[in-house]
């Protein structure tokens, strides 16, 4: 323990972290218990499902593999489109290799999403993106993904006939779209928020008993970097289109897995089951949403018209392809292409010359 940090301070800081881990383990324990009870209740169905995996229609399994690859390709295209709007050009194979490797980190390691975001950020810095542009891309790509998933779930719900109270869904989607439009406006004209940022800084500085202009210079530097991002409506539409294609291809992968298992689900029910499983799987309880995705996906597939053993078999085929197979490709690419790279952040510690190293890296792209 550092002598500069009193023990009482460390204890106070550690309590929220301790409560978080306690809550996480409680939720995980409940999930394991629920899955365990489900396994006991449907053990016969599970045995039949496991046997049906080995008798699955191989042509639909192959089609599911291609759909999963198409989903990853679309995911990488979101990055390329956004970076291109900021003047950072990346070759397709580099972008896809980085996303496969980042997905492997996210899907298989504890704390994977943070490791993946850090890895992708560092790759973008090596390609020539400034710190603000790299961070901006990660945020906008994440928002586009959330909007795409919300739109997918909304479409599935309406196809199922859930029209009794559609306004909450519409307002949610409208909020996401408004956020995208706001991000596009800020990216194209950062000066729109210059005065707002200065006013907010002045208010914060007043609370912290600091000079009113404290941090204003850094704020203006950030805005000047954002001016490099010219996100037109066409580019925004293209990025959102790739985001939707990413989700649609993954839904098609699940549909092909269901057909390979011998099930015939309704498209609307399968879409809603997929959206619910993906939304719950984004909670960082286990790598890749292990147990959580399965616990939500199987009942959803059953409600879409599949028998229990067909639903379990479809889930197994889908997870083997979209999770394990894609993660295995990512780890191979990581060890072949990225394992010898320095783990040090490419940003200079002194804050100077931030563009020199990225530009040299960009020349190699």
CA distance 74 to 80: 10
Would you say residue 288 lies in a domain?
yes
One-character DSSP codes across 114-138: HHHHHHHHHHHHHHT--HHHHHHHH
Would you say residue 314 lies in a domain?
yes
Tell me which residue of 337, 346, 362, 282 sits closest to 100, measured CA to CA.
337
Would you say residue 3 lies in a domain?
no
CB 64 within 8 A of CB 256: yes
Tell me which residue of 330, 156, 325, 158 sits closest to 257, measured CA to CA.
325
- Band of residue 170 on the pLDDT scale cut at 50, 70, 90: low
Would you say residue 201 lies in a domain?
no
CA distance 285 to 283: 6
Q: Is the pLDDT of residue 1 over 70?
A: no
What is the distance in angstroms between the CA of the first residue and the CA of the last residue of the chain? 44
Q: Is the pLDDT of residue 124 over 60?
A: yes
Would you say residue 5 lies in a domain?
no
Would you say residue 310 lies in a domain?
yes
Helix (H/G/I), strand (E/B), else coil: 340: coil
Assign residue 348 a region (left: φ > 0; alpha: ψ between -120 and 50; beta: otherwise): beta
Buried b (16+ CB within 10 A) or exposed e, 254-275: bbbbbbbbbbebbebbbbbbbb
pLDDT digits (tens, 9 = 90+) for 32-72: 676 666 566 556 656 666 666 677 889 999 999 999 999 99
User: What's the confidence (pLDDT) of residue 352?
Assistant: 39
**Cα four-point dihedral sign 22, 26, 32, 35:** negative
pTM: 0.71
- Please give the average per-residue pLDDT across 151-170, as a whole number: 66
- Band of residue 13 on the pLDDT scale cut at 50, 70, 90: very low
Placement of tokens 């490419």 in the chain: 346
Q: Is the pLDDT of residue 107 over 80?
A: yes
Placement of tokens 């989903």 in the chain: 71
Would you say residue 220 lies in a domain?
no
User: What's the confidence (pLDDT) of residue 130?
Assistant: 86
Cα 225 to its chain centre, rounded Å, is: 25
pLDDT digits (tens, 9 = 90+) for 250-309: 999 999 999 999 899 999 899 999 999 998 888 777 777 777 888 889 999 999 999 888
**Structural domain count, the chain:** 1
Domain span at residue 170 reads: 42-188+228-363
CB 240 within 8 A of CB 180: yes
């Amino acid at each position: 323990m550092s002598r500069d940090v009193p023990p009482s301070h460390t204890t106070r800081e550690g309590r929220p972290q301790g409560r978080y881990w306690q809550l996480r383990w409680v939720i995980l324990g409940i999930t394991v218990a629920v899955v365990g009870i489900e396994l006991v209740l449907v053990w016969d169905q599970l045995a039949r499902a496991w046997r049906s995996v080995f008798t699955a229609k191989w042509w639909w399994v192959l089609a599911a593999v291609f759909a999963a690859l198409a989903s990853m390709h679309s995911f990488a295209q979101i990055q390329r489109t956004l970076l291109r709007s900021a003047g950072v050009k990346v070759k397709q194979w580099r972008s896809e290799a980085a996303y496969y490797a980042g997905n492997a980190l996210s899907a298989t390691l504890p704390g994977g999403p943070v490791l993946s975001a850090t890895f992708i950020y560092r790759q973008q810095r090596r390609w020539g993106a400034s710190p603000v542009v790299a961070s901006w891309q990660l945020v906008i790509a994440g928002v586009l993904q959330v909007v795409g998933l919300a739109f997918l779930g909304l479409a599935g719900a309406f196809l199922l006939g859930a029209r009794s109270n559609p306004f909450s869904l519409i307002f949610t989607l409208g909020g996401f779209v408004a956020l995208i439009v706001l991000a596009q406006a800020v990216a194209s004209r950062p000066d729109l928020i210059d005065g707002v940022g200065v006013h907010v800084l002045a208010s914060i500085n007043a609370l912290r008993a600091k000079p009113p202009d404290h941090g204003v210079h850094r704020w203006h530097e950030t805005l000047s970097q954002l001016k490099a991002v010219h996100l037109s409506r066409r580019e925004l539409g293209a990025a959102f289109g790739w985001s939707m294609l990413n989700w649609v291809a993954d839904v098609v992968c699940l549909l092909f897995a269901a057909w390979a298992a011998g099930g015939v689900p309704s498209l609307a029910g399968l879409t809603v089951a997929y959206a619910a499983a993906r939304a719950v799987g984004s909670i960082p309880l286990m790598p890749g949403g292990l147990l959580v995705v399965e616990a939500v996906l199987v009942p959803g597939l059953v409600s879409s018209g599949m028998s229990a053993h067909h639903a379990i078999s479809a889930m197994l085929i889908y997870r083997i392809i979209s999770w394990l197979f894609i993660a295995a490709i990512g780890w191979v690419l990581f060890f072949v292409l990225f394992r010898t790279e320095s783990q040090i952040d490419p940003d200079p510690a002194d804050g100077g010359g931030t563009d020199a190293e990225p530009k040299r890296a960009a020349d190699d792209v």
